[in-house]
Every structure is written in structure tokens, then in C-alpha cells.
A = this chain, B = another copy of it.
Amino acid sequence: MTSIQERLYPDLPCFGCGHGNPDGLKLRSYPAEDGTVTATFTPWPAHNNGLGYLNGGIICTVLDCHSAAAVMLEADRRGWEPLGDAALSHVTAGLDVRYLRPSPLHEPVELLASVKEATEAQLTIDVSLIWDGKTRAEAIAVWKRWRPRA
């Protein structure tokens, strides 16, 4: 199956999820049958938090970009197209992250997102990072309609 990113925005230069960015993380997210969105992310050795675990900023990056996949999938289904010449219909307005447990640096981790509220003006996504059956970090991501300047 083609990932949400490669199907809906294959050339995006985003650091976290753009498959048009040769130096980025190239996240791949997929719709699940229960309506959630899932992904597996394998950290790079450089993504250390200084204590041998996965860096919190990189955790934010993949939580943000994985929530993006849930948003863009929802927007695509609802017909909320990008405005002007923008590549994306919405942008992140807020990301409230709680780090619950250390996340491993040298193992693939799982990402899980679900849409909690969705209007064309604003979407709210619950997104979490899971490893070994335990949630390591969780966030609420708020996305707003992106209106590029004329």
C-alpha cells in the first residue's frame, strides 16, 4: 500500500514527512481499518536525547508529521483542498506533548493518530508514540486552515 504522504503529497520538501526532501525523515503513515492512522519510525543514530534515548524534538517532529497524515487524509476525504499554490490544506497551530517514558533510540517505534474533532477551519488530533506496548509520548495536535498570502 502507498503511504498517505506518497499518495497525497509525494513531492513535499517537509523535513519530517516529505518524500521530496532527500535529507529528511521520510515518514510513511497508513490508514488502518478502525479509522486510525499508523506508522513505524526508525530513529537515526544521531537522534540521541543526550541520555541514550530518542530525542524529544525528534519525537515532536514525528508526532507532528504523523498527525499531519491524519489531517491530510481527513481533508482529502472531505474535499478541503489546499488554497492557492500551497502544498497543504492545513498547518499545525499547536502541539502539546507529554513525555511519559523514555523512548528507545535503536529500535523502531510505532505512531498512532486519530482525529478527535474536524471542521474545515480546525482539526484536533490525538497522536502517540508507542514502543513495547507502552505509550512513550502523547500529544494533542491542533491544525488550522492554511491561507497563503496573495
Contacts and interface: CB of A to CB of B under 8 A. Distances in A.
Interface residues of A, number: 43
A75 to B, nearest CB: 14
A97 B95 contact: yes
Interface in A134-150: 146, 148
Majority secondary structure, A binding face? loop
A46 B24 contact: yes
Contacts of A13: 48, 50, 52
Q: Please provide the 4 A-B residue pairs with the shortest distance between their CB atoms, ordered closest to farther.
A: A57-B61, A14-B50, A60-B60, A23-B46
Contacts of A14: 48-50, 55
A130 interface: no
Interface stretch (A30-38, A86-94, A108-116, A119-127): A86-94
